[in-house]
Chains A and B, each alone.
Chain A
Amino acid sequence: MAGLELLSDQGYRLDGRKATELRKVQARMGVFAQADGSAYLEQGNTKALAVVYGPHEMRGSRSRTLHDRAVINCQYSMATFSTAERKRRPHGDRKSTEMSLHLKQTFEAAVMTQLYPRSQIDIYVKILQSDGGNYSVCVNAATLAVIDAGIPMRDYVCACTVGFVDETPLADLCYAEESGGVSSLALALLPRGGQIALLQMDARLHQDHLETLIEAAMTACKGVSKVLDEVVRQHLQEVSVLTGE
C-alpha cells in the first residue's frame, strides 16, 4: 500500500523524480575562512555543513596518539531547528554518537592517515536542515571539506541512501520515503575501486533483492561522485583565478 504512494504507476515518486534519479546537489567549498577546510552541501532539502580542522597536534588525551597514523575525530550534530519537530539535544544522544562513529570509520578507510603520524584530524558535520539521507549528505559534505583542507585521500567518498519499493530500487530517499517504512540501505563508496567503506541497512529485505539494491546504490554513488568532482574542479578554477594564475 505504501508503495502506491511512494512510486506511482508511471514510475514517478512523491517529489516527481524517477526511480533512479538523484536530488539536485549544490555544493560550495571554502565557506569559512577560519577553519582549515569547510564545505556546504545541499542535496534536495537536506543541508549539511562540514568543517575540518587539521592535521594538528593531539588535543585532549595524549595517550590516544597513534605512532604510525593520524587519529580521525568526528562529531555529527543536528541543529535544533533542522527537523520538523524541534530537537532538544543537538548531540550527545545515542543516534548522534553512532553517526559520529560511522563517519569516523568511513573516513579512516579513505584518508591517507599514514602520512600524518602522531597527529589528529577533526571533522565536524552539522545538519542545518534534515529531509532524508542525513548520513549520505554528511559524508559527501565531509569529503569536500577534507579536500578543501588539502588532506590527501585515496578517492572521493560518496554516499547515497537507496530504498526498495515494489521490486524497484529508489535512489536518494527523502524523509517522507524513509519514514514510510521502506527498507533503506546507506552505502559509502570509493567509486574508482568500487570499494565499500560503509554499509548499513535497516528494515526487512529479502536476501534475493540484496544484490540489486547494492548495485543501485553503487550506481547512485558514482553519479554523486561525478557531481562532487565537478564542484571541486570549479572551486579550484575560482581559487586559481583569484590567486592570479
Chain B
Amino acid sequence: MATVQVSEAEKVYILHGIRDDLRVDGRGCEDYRHMEIETDVVSNTDGSAKITLGHTAVLVGIKAEIGKPRPMVPDEGYLEFFVDCSANATPEFEGRGGEELGTELSNTLYKVFNNKRSVDLKSLCISEGEHCWVLYVDVLLLQCDGNLYDAISIAIKAALFNTKIPRVQISADDEGGKEIELSDDPYDCMRLNVENVPCIVTLCKVGHRHVVDATLQEKACSVASLIISVTHKGTVTCTRKVGGGSLDPESIFEMTEAGKRVGKALHTPLMKLLQEEESRGA
C-alpha cells in the first residue's frame, strides 16, 4: 500500500480513540466511509463500475472473450483477474513499483471469486470442452487511501452485475466443426447472477479492538488484519490473515463475527442500489 508516515504521538492518539469507539473522522468502529458507486462508465467494455470509498477510487472493467475451457473443468468458463496499480495513485507505483501489490491483490481475488459457488461458471460455458466465455476482470487503482480489498470487491460485484454477455448461437458448419455466431443486437444479452458473489471485509486490529474500513493512518497503527469474504447469507467463503503481527484465536473469532455482521449488512443495500441504477438507465 502507499505508505503514510505516522508519528508515535499520532499513533497513541488513534489507539486511544479507537479504544473508546471513536475514530479520527468521527465514525464508529464498524462504519464504512462515504461510498459512491457508478456502473457502465467505460463504453467499450462489457461491464464496468467505478467506486469511491472516501479517498480510495477504483475502476473495474470486464471484457468477455471466447476461449478454451480449462481441461479439468470442461463445462465451466472462468475469470481472469489483473490489478493495475497505476502511478496515478501514488508516485511509488511508477514503473514496476506497483507490480508486487498488484500480484498480491489479484491472487486473493482469484481465490475469492473464481469458484463455482460465487459465480455461476456453468452459465459461461458455450460448448463443452471447446468454447467458453472467459471474463477478463481488469482492476485499475486510481487513488489509494486504505481498504483496497473492500473497494475492489464491491466494484467487481457491481461490474459483474452490469456485465452484458452477448448471446451465442452454435451452428455446425461444413467441415463438422462448430461455428459460433454472436448476436448483433446489443440488447440481446445474458446477465450474470450475482446473488452469491461475496464481498470482502477487511478488519484491522488496532490495539485491542478491530476496525472496519481502515484509512491509511489507521493501517499504520495496526500490525495485523483479517480479510473475510462474506456472502449475502452471512456465509464466510474465504479468510486470510495479512500483516506481520499476531492475532490470538479469541480475537479472530470476534473479528469473524463482526465481519459476518458487517458483510451481511452490505449486500442488501448494494443490490438495491444497483437495481435502482439499472432501472433508471433503462
Direct contact of A and B (CB under 8 A): yes
Query: Which residues does A use to contact B, with CB under 8 Å?
Result: 32-35, 38, 45, 47, 49, 51, 53, 59, 73, 75, 77, 79-84, 86, 90-92, 122, 124, 126, 128-129, 131
Q: Please give the distance in Å from A67's CB to the nearest CB on chain B.
A: 22
Write the B53-82 contact mask toward A (1 if CB under 8 angstroms, else 0): 001010101110100000000000000001
Partner of B91, one of A33, A38, A53, A128: A53
Q: Is the CB of A129 within 8 A of B87?
A: no
| Cα–Cα, bound, A6→B199 (Å) | 47
| Cα–Cα, bound, A47→B136 (Å) | 21
Q: Is the CB of A34 within 8 A of B45?
A: no
The number of chain B residues touching the other chain, given as a range, is: 20 to 34
Q: Please give the distance in Å from A135's CB to the nearest CB on chain B.
A: 18
Q: Is the CB of B55 within 8 A of A77?
A: no
| Cα–Cα, bound, A124→B97 (Å) | 14
Q: Is the CB of B55 within 8 A of A90?
A: no
| Cα–Cα, bound, A75→B138 (Å) | 20
Would you mind naming 13 contact pairs between A and B with Cβ atoms under 8 Å apart? A34-B55, A49-B88, A53-B91, A80-B82, A80-B84, A80-B140, A81-B62, A83-B44, A84-B44, A124-B86, A124-B88, A124-B91, A129-B43
A-B contact count (CB 8 A): 81
Q: Is the CB of A81 within 8 A of B61?
A: yes
Residues of B within 8 A of A126 (CB): 86, 88, 140
Q: Please give the distance in Å from B3's CB to the nearest CB on chain A.
A: 13
Is B272 in the interface zone, CB < 8 Å from A? no
Residues of B within 8 A of A122 (CB): 87, 91, 94
Are A32 and B96 also in contact (CB < 8 A) when A86-B136, A128-B59, A129-B44 are?
no
Q: Is the CB of B63 within 8 A of A86?
A: yes
